[in-house]
Structure 1
Amino acid sequence: MCSLFDVDDHAGIERFIEEHGIHHPQQMIFGRRRRPTSKVSIVTARHGEPAVENAIWHLYLQRDGDDWKPHKKYWSINSNWKKLGQRPEYRKSRCLIPATAWVESQHGEHPVEFCFGNHKPFFFCGLYKTWGETVSCSIITLDAHPDTRKYHEKSFPMIAPDDDAFIEHWLGPGEDIMPFEPYLHADKEIGGEPLYVQPVRRATATEYVGSRQEV
């Protein structure tokens, strides 16, 4: 599962967003080690044009007075690709989640940071829901890539190809999900940049304890 990720404001991510024709990049929430249930930035086209907005990283919410909070019975920061067919959000409410890196660990041990190239920005593929004025989201997870199973044996986040046609279709209103089938597998390269891994002291820490290596 993906449970921590970075949105590093020194990585040119605003430029990356603008290059893909996404509006309101000034609304981006930056920071390293973004945690579940916190506010994160996502991209939707629910108002007609692709735009940055902010969401709670936990798909299912429950009432908390006049507000909404993560549902305590349904841990939903990730959406497993095998269950996407059961989720109406996959047909109707797809989003992108900007990032520059993410952290995984095997059974809570030996955490590592993943990134593409020199922290090239990318988009996680995700789902979103609306709860009145509040928006929530999850990251879609795929089966682990054979070369990443030693870091996390079960899963790998779904990452959008650096392709405007895919992004337009993913964010669009069309409910035909068949064109997404070829992308439901882990990819170690995005936009010509290979995947790298580097050990960190703790999953939530930004201190490295080993060299960066290509996966």
Structure 2
Amino acid sequence: MCASYGLDPRFTDAELLAEADEAVLDGLRSWAQNNAGETLRPTGKNLRNLNPLVTAADGTPLLEAAWWGYLVDGQPARFPSINTRSERLQDRPRGLRTRALVPATGWFEMQKPSRVWHEFGLGAGVLFGMAAVTQRGRTPDGEWTTCYSIVMRPAPTHLAELHDRVPLLIPSGFAIDWLTGDGTRELIDEALLAAASLDEQLRAEPKPDDKGDGMLF
């Protein structure tokens, strides 16, 4: 599963949107600079960060701050909600009703049993979008916000020995389709095919520092 990821403000915008929206990218760079290189982690009652998310309104990409994980009755969900399996969405496409892109330049996973952390991505500083499904939730303060869950799929063969699953990456040419398409079984099937086109670019590097510890809920 993906429990933490990174966003380098020096990113290139090659793999996020085919027609990069400057307002979105400028807002994303500003947010990343203010975040000062901190690892992005799930939001919870003990960790109240809100992370940048690309959504769409009337077909136009928008950047908003969103809660990673679902909120139920004003509290973080008691069930696992920061990740959603692609197979679950294929079986239950109702979960595809609202979707987003999670901007990142890398994500972190621990290889077991060696307990060595690796950073995965498309190359140093390359910005990409991880598929997410969203829903509205009420925070403990009573405010309504967008909540998101990152979609995970089986890892390609060359990465499977490091971790068995990877985020569903959305190529730039499929980004608008993912954000605005009908939420059907066909959409997740097409997204999986599109993601496979990036498999050869996916790589992993060992990280000597611990990047993925401690999900504080």
Normalised TM-score (structure 2): 0.76
Is the alpha carbon distance of 1:161 and 1:18 closer, same or farther for their aligned partners in structure 2, counting shifts above 3 Å? closer
* 2:110 matches 1:105: yes
Partner of 2:201: 194
Partner of 2:46: none
Partners in 1 of 2:168 and 2:15 — Cα distance?
22
Partner of 1:54: 65
**What percent identity do the matched residue pairs reach?**
26
Segments of 5+ residues of structure 1 without an aligned counterpart are 206-215
Partners in 1 of 2:175 and 2:42 — Cα distance?
24
C-alpha RMSD of the superposition: 2.8
Runs of 4+ more than 6 Å apart? none
Q: Bigger relative contact order, structure 1 or 2, given CA contacts below 8 A and separation 6+?
A: 2
CA contact (8 A) 2:117 2:206 kept: yes
Segments of 5+ residues of structure 2 without an aligned counterpart are 44-48, 139-143, 213-217
Shift of 1:174: 2.0
SS of 1:33's partner is coil
CA contact (8 A) 1:102 1:114 kept: yes
CA contact (8 A) 1:103 1:203 kept: no
* 2:104 matches 1:95: no
Shift of 1:36: 1.4
Shift of 1:182: 4.0
Summarize deviations over 1:73-104 as a string: whole Å, max 9, x none. 112110001111325231x1011111111111
Partner of 1:210: none
Summarize deviations over 1:131-152 as a string: whole Å, max 9, x none. 2631110110001211111111
Structure 1 range deviating more: 20-29 or 172-181 = 20-29
Partner of 1:184: 192
Shift of 1:189: 2.9
Instruction: Spell out the pairing of 1:37-186 with structure 2 (5 A cutoff).
Output: 37=43, 38-46=49-57, 48-58=59-69, 60-63=70-73, 68-71=74-77, 73-84=78-89, 85-86=91-92, 88-90=94-96, 92-107=97-112, 109-131=115-137, 133-152=144-163, 154-163=164-173, 166-184=174-192
SS of 2:189's partner is helix
Normalised TM-score (structure 1): 0.77
* 2:211 matches 1:204: yes
Partner of 2:20: 20
SS of 2:202's partner is strand
CA contact (8 A) 2:15 2:129 kept: no
Is the alpha carbon distance of 1:178 and 1:24 closer, same or farther for their aligned partners in structure 2, counting shifts above 3 Å? same
Is the alpha carbon distance of 1:117 and 1:26 closer, same or farther for their aligned partners in structure 2, counting shifts above 3 Å? closer
SS of 2:118's partner is strand
CA contact (8 A) 2:56 2:62 kept: yes
Shift of 1:11: 1.4
Shift of 1:70: 1.7
SS of 1:156's partner is strand
Summarize deviations over 1:158-200 as a string: whole Å, max 9, x none. 000121xx2121111523441441432663737xx82222111
